[in-house]
């Protein structure tokens, strides 16, 4: 331990001795990290000016190379000094790039030969985007170096209770523009992928209405907002004039956790497998929503001391939720032993590792290997894996529902065929009884009356004629209730006979078309239903439509279609309250798992029976 202290002191002393000598810029370079050539001065005096810092003794500064560039929670100002010498014959355009977007306040100053020659405005995530020196998601400061001059560049980083990393690069301008263009292209592809997945998840959640997909959509939106915040693109595009949103990183993290908790409860079935964890998750959701969300949304007005307490408490609480999610998932995977559950945890593991390391940095003031690029890639992997898991679940659910629907349809059709068959048998039984019973009795009655009435008066003739009319009505009714005898004729022949009868008995022109009517594919009950429906349609047309033409088509390919059109006076289908004929057709269509549609206007009516 003592050796380490001595070694650190010697490094500090060496940096102080070398600080008075400006660094000679290489003639050809692309970028330099300020950790290699910068010095820093850490102070709690947030009102210190650049002129005062410039007059500090060299011993007040320490080399940044003895640090890793990370400065942890606390209200501090970090002044970084870069002393460079430019001996080339012409001026050079350089850029300072600060890639840490979570700095509360930052300002740049340029001194040439001890004189202040330029300074930027105060900017940072507590200030609107328009206050930046250059239009870019990161903080940029342009520097024009004249030939043979010595420059002292000062960067003032101010942080209020946050951990930041001084990820700052010194660039040759043209090299920066080329590298930045390539990085922007790659990031835009990455951001486009995240945005597409988020939109897909949101649309599917809205269409299906499933809670699991809604929570995944919330999860994706929260991750997308965190990405936009940590990369600075949110400041640049979404809320450039509202720096209030810059401080809502923890709000986006809470949304992320709310989505993750809900997904864990629903997908892993924690209520069934781990009821204790399920109760903890439910309580956590209420605490996050009712306690931490209001505190985070009002972070501008909370005192710094209270803000630090809330931040530490919230991070510890999120750390506990993360641990509970991992433990519950591991236990349920052991119980269920399914690949889907394992991949669900694998998807979470990427961002969980990122959040754990982030929380370790914030709580323990420890620097980790994790960076923004790693977090972005992990979020993308997370999205893709979870989208695959949920897509597979939706597919499995869809297949199960399709199988159940198919089984239900087959059951309904079987029941419908049985019902129609029973109806047809009953119709045939009634037809036989009427024909063999009442019809014969009526014929005998007519014969007896003829033999009894010998005077042949007008009254006697009327009675005999009435009995004959009743007998004819009974014979017609007998044929009506059992109109189709498939033992004697096909459906096509029966339809031809019906059309011929209508044309002979009524002034009605019928245009008839049959397309691929495969009668072998139709059950007996279906043929009876078709013929009886056609009878009903002709009957309605003759009674009410006052039509002169009818167009009829029968098609039986992938499905059966009966299209019946007339040029009658039409009617309003919504106002038809009686009419058992159309209701009977609709009932037959439902029994056959089909549909019956009616369209009517002043130019005629169209009826469509489909099953």
The pLDDT value given to residue 109: 92
- CB within 8 A of 18, min separation 6: which ones? 63
Taking a C-beta distance cutoff of 8 angstroms, is the pair 98, 167 a contact?
Answer: yes
Evaluate the CA torsion angle 174, 176, 177, 183 in order and state its sign.
positive
Q: Range with the lowest mean pLDDT among 6-10, 40-44, 402-406?
A: 6-10
Q: In the predicted model, what is the mean pLDDT of residues 38-53? A: 88
Instruction: Say which residue, 545 or 181, is predicted with more confidence.
Output: 181
Distances (CA, A) of 587 to 53, 422, 539, 560, 562: 92, 15, 17, 16, 15
3-class DSSP state of 283: helix
Higher-confidence residue of 588 and 443: namely 588
Phi and psi dihedrals of 572, rounded to 5?
Answer: -95, 110
Ordered by start, the domain boundaries in the chain are: 2-180, 184-405, 489-611
Q: Which residues pair with 601 in a beta bridge?
A: 604
Lowest mean pLDDT among 99-108, 119-128, 430-439, 454-463: 430-439
In this prediction, residue 19 carries a pLDDT of: 43
Which numeric CATH code is attached to 489-611? Answer: 3.30.565.10
Nearest CA-CA partner of 323 in 344, 289, 349: 349
pTM summary value:
0.61
pLDDT at 324 > cutoff 70: yes
Determine the 3-state secondary structure of 112 from DSSP: strand
Joined tokens for residue 159? 């942080």
Angle between helices 580-591 and 524-540 (to 10 degrees): 160
Is the pLDDT score of 58 beyond 70?
Answer: yes
Specify the DSSP class assigned to residue 518.
-
576/331 Cα distance (integer angstroms): 63
Do residues 136 and 49 lie in contact, with contact meaning Cβ atoms separated by under 8 Å?
Answer: no
**Secondary structure (H, E, C), 52-80:** HHHCCCHHHCEEHHHCCCEECCCCEEEEE
Count of all residues that appear for the chain in the document: 611
pLDDT bracket for residue 463 (50, 70, 90): low
d(CA 298, CA 282): 24
pLDDT of residue 436: 46
Across 7-21, 116-130, 216-230, 239-253, least confident range = 7-21
Query: Any idea which architecture 2-180 has in CATH?
Result: Sandwich (2.60)
Is-contact 604 547, C-beta < 8 A?
A: yes
Question: Which stretch of 133-142, 305-314, 329-338, 570-579 has the lowest confidence by average pLDDT?
Answer: 570-579
Q: Do domains 2-180 and 489-611 have the same CATH topology?
A: no
pLDDT value of residue 230: 78
Mean pLDDT score of the chain: 76
Question: 34 CB contacts (<8 Å, ≥6 apart)?
Answer: 64, 80, 82, 155, 166, 168, 169, 170
CA distance 35 to 296: 34
Query: Is the pLDDT higher at 515 or at 206?
Result: 206
Does residue 451 register a pLDDT over 50?
yes
- Find the DSSP H helices in 365-438: 372-433
Q: What is the C-alpha to C-alpha distance for residues 358 and 161, in angstroms, rounded to an integer?
A: 15
Q: Which two tokens stand for residue 60?
A: 């007040």
Nearest residue to 201 (alpha-carbon basis) of 281, 132, 161, 259: 259
């Amino acid at each position: 331990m003592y050796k380490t202290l001595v070694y650190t002191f010697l490094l500090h002393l060496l940096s102080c001795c070398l600080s008075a000598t400006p660094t000679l810029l290489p003639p050809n370079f692309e970028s330099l990290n300020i950790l290699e050539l910068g010095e820093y001065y850490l102070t709690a005096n947030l009102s210190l000016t650049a002129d005062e810092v410039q007059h500090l003794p060299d011993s007040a500064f320490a080399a940044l190379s003895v640090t890793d560039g990370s400065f942890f929670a606390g209200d501090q100002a970090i002044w970084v000094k870069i002393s460079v010498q430019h001996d080339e014959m012409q001026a050079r355009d350089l850029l300072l790039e600060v890639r840490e977007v979570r700095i509360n306040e930052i300002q740049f100053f340029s001194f040439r030969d001890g004189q202040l020659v330029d300074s930027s405005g105060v900017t940072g995530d507590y200030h609107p985007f328009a206050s930046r020196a250059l239009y870019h998601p990161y903080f940029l400061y342009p520097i024009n170096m004249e030939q043979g001059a010595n420059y002292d560049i000062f960067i003032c980083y101010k942080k209020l209770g946050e951990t930041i990393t001084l990820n700052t690069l010194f660039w040759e301008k043209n090299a920066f523009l080329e590298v930045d263009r390539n990085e922007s292209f790659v990031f835009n592809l990455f951001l486009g992928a995240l945005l597409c997945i988020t939109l897909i998840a949101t649309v599917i959640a809205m269409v299906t209405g499933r809670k699991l997909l809604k929570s995944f959509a919330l999860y994706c939106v929260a991750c997308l907002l965190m990405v936009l915040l940590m990369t600075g693109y949110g400041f640049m595009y979404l809320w450039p004039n509202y720096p209030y949103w810059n401080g809502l990183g923890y709000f986006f993290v809470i949304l992320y956790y709310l989505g993750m908790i809900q997904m864990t409860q629903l997908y892993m079935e924690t209520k069934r497998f781990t009821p204790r964890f399920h109760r903890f998750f439910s309580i956590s959701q209420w605490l996050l929503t009712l306690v931490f969300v209001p505190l985070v949304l009002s972070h501008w007005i909370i005192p710094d001391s209270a803000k630090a307490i809330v931040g530490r408490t919230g991070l510890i609480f999120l750390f506990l939720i993360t641990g509970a999610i991992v433990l519950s998932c591991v236990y349920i995977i052991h119980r269920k032993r399914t690949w889907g559950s394992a991949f669900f945890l694998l998807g979470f593991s990427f961002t969980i590792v990122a959040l754990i390391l982030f929380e370790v940095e914030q709580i323990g003031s420890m620097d980790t290997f994790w960076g923004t690029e790693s977090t972005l890639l992990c979020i993308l992997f997370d999205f893709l894996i979870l989208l695959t898991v949920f897509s597979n679940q939706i597919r499995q659910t869809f297949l199960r529902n399709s199988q159940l629907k198919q089984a239900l349809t087959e059951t309904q059709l079987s029941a419908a065929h049985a019902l129609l068959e029973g109806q047809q048998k009953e119709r045939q039984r009634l037809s036989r009884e009427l024909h063999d019973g009442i019809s014969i009795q009526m014929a005998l009655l007519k014969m007896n009356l003829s033999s009894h009435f010998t005077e042949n008066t007008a009254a006697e003739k009327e009675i005999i004629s009435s009995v004959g009319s009743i007998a004819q009505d009974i014979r017609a009714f007998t044929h009506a209730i059992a109109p189709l005898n498939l033992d004697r004729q096909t459906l096509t022949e029966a339809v031809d006979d019906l059309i011929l009868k209508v044309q002979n008995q009524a002034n009605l022109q019928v245009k008839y078309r049959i397309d691929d009517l495969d009668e072998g594919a139709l059950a007996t009950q279906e043929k009876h239903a078709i013929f009886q429906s056609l009878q009903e349609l002709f009957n309605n047309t003759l009674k009410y439509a006052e039509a002169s033409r009818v167009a009829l088509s029968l098609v039986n390919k992938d499905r059966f279609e009966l299209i019946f059109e007339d040029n009658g006076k039409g009617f309003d289908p919504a106002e038809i309250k009686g009419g058992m004929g159309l209701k009977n057709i609709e009932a037959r269509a439902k029994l056959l798992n089909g549909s019956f549609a009616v369209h009517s206007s002043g130019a005629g009516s169209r009826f469509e029976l489909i099953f």
